[in-house]
Structure 1
Amino acid sequence: MTESEAAVAWAAPYRADPIDATANLPGSKSLTNRVLVLAALADAPSHIVAPLRARDTELMASALRSLGTRIDETADGWRVEPGPLRGPAEVDCGLAGTVMRFVPPVAALASGDVSFDGDPYARERPMSTVLAALRDLGVVIDDGGRGALPFIVHGTGDVPGGVVTIDASASSQFVSALLLSGCRYRDGVDVRHSGKPVPSMPHIDMTITQLRTRGVEVDDSEPDRWVVRPGTPKAVDVRVEPDLSNAGPFIAAALATGGRVRVSDWPEATDQAGDRWREIATLMGATVVRDDSDLVVDATGAIRGVDLDLHDVGELTPVVAALCALASAPSYLRGIGHLRGHETDRLAAIAAEINALGGDVTELDDGLEVRPRPLHRGTFATYADHRMAHAGVVLALGVDGVRVENIATTAKTYPGFADEWERFVR
């Protein structure tokens, strides 16, 4: 980080006494982008209430609009009217994995060429699995042999579909991408995984739930195989759940300060990976209870070290690691080697930034070892990664003088996060 970048880094709030505050979360990014795709492929218009309005979801809405879907603003969300999918079109993926992976299978159903590109780091994110799978299903794609952005999908308005075998061990999004659009392919899709275990399985469960809600037949009875029958999704009006992954820094605030945090409108049943925060917070020493529709987290300030397999909920890792750095004993976070291919190499980034503040984090082949040490003031880099920014603000709660570089990157999934965090902490 240059001196000029450090000079404009945000002075994240420090809290010397127990917090007692309520968090009201924005809508889930994962749900918003899935229901947007399915609404664009549906048999009639639908209404999405309380969607997330953030960079990733705006990029998804823009991508679908460019392909012929009408998405109108309403007082409480979006009205989505499917239209004939067509090109030519250009799709800006930004740094959104859901856009760069979910939209190409939709573009294959368009008549005309659809070009894809994104932020500079987006060109380094793995895409070869999705592109190769689409080719196996009958789609013509020009990527210059890169297996990454930028590329062009040559849509013909029809995709044969059928059986395809992929290695989805780098991202569950590879599976979800094919399932979401596969129902509109002539023969549906029969996706088979061959490789190490698929990470973030709750996200695939979420995809399947949303397909079934719209009348699409999905058979997931066989491990590592998902069969989607051909058919058009039914239009369904939906209210988007709060984003439980974004609950991470707020729940962590209770643990880091020995206080109490109430998270409003926590769903009783959900496919979201962030629901695992209830278990993680308990293991780290908090008491977690439901109070009507809310989740209440009480903590004492003594954070326990943990040994956690986060394979299915890898997105929670940065905030968990920040808490581990403030804990009373060493922690081991496992099953998260796939995080090296996220917005940044999250394992390397977490280790580098906590260690720069005086911490002791070692990268393992498939995770992190975090040994607590006294931390000192400094600047925490985010690598344009919203989850890294969340980790930085949690560390700042317990370490006076931590500045978080590029806090604006949180707009990817939480517009106005910095202002809301200051209100919450103060």
Structure 2
Amino acid sequence: MSKPSRLWSIVDRRIHPPLLPLTTQDSQRLLDTIKNSFRAQLEKEHGLTDTIQATPSTTATNKVQSISNATTEPPRAFARPTDQHLHSILKNPLFSHQQQLKRQVVPASSVESDKMIFKQAVAKGLMNITRAHGFLLKVAGQKNTEPPVAKIENHGVGTLVLEWLRDSGQHRGLKWFSSSPEFGGLLIRFLLAEGHDELLLIWLDQLMTKEVSLGATGEWGITSMVFRELIKAKTLDPTLDDAYRTFLTGMNMLEGYSLSGKFFSTAWRELCWSTTVLAWKYPKVPAHLFEPFAASKLAKDPRDPRAHELPLAHLGLHHPEKPSVELALEWLRRHSFGYPAKMLLPAGSLEMARCLERLTSFGIDTAQHLLLSNQEEEAKGVMEYVKKITKILREKDHGLLPEAAP
């Protein structure tokens, strides 16, 4: 028979019924032994080799010091996994005591001040999606109606909001994204700035798994919105390379689940817009990223294959190595006696402004390509045609034309 362990010897010697009840000294000694054994086993499982032994007296002293210095000492790294776990629980705003919050001094930094207000609202149970959205807008320095114009700095704000979503139970299913897509898109920008790219791809994978098991919830489901906002946030970088890589990664995931391309069609249009209409903002994308994007099945909208004809024709003019005007001329010849009915959008809509901007950019790019090939007459004809279409659309935008195509 193997020799009994030290712990078992103590337990057998001190808890045996004839020795009960234990004295105060024996109880404390038994408790210390159990704690030390538990710590040693936990640290062994987590790979911590240097076991830190503390006597009862030093432990008590450390507790007193930690309580007295709780508000003055900066955050420190904890050696033991148990300490790390306990610290993560105690620092959670949901468990913060209101008296402690009242004693805190408001930091000088505006962002830190906003973060403290957010934590106080969470601790008092006053936080909701609308207020969290306002918090993100405040830190981003923009209004709700303003489009994003710059990449957000890393202040740890996205992680703070994400922790609140998890702790409040709203993180599961990402239902808050469909109820408030503006909040979801802004949160994605913050999370990307803080290096949570992998987390967003995990979200996307989970949503695709749900789509496969439950079936498509609609052509503008959460999957489509999350990926569109992810790509839109990536286009705020100085280059589009990372946006293209992310798109191709998502496309591979989509093909792996055999899902319809309608989930990513809006993301495709978003990236195509940045590549063509906003080409002046970015350096050219490498050909090995551009070509799979242009040739993907998402380049054809499954709901209406003609909807992507103009973006594809425009995209051909911006190939990084072999720009081609053929698709552009083919599109112009096809619509030489009128303009597509798809362009007749509701008067005063934002899409009308984008349509006019697309046509103007497309006409200029096509004319420039023809001029480089010494085709001056063709270039002049293209510009005249684009002027005619844009004039008709502007008149229609002001309610001067009927909704049907002439």
TM category (shorter chain) comes to: under 0.3
More strand by share: 1
The structure with the largest alpha-carbon Rg is 2
What TM-score do you get using the length of structure 2 for normalisation? Answer: 0.25
* Bigger fraction of residues in helix: 2
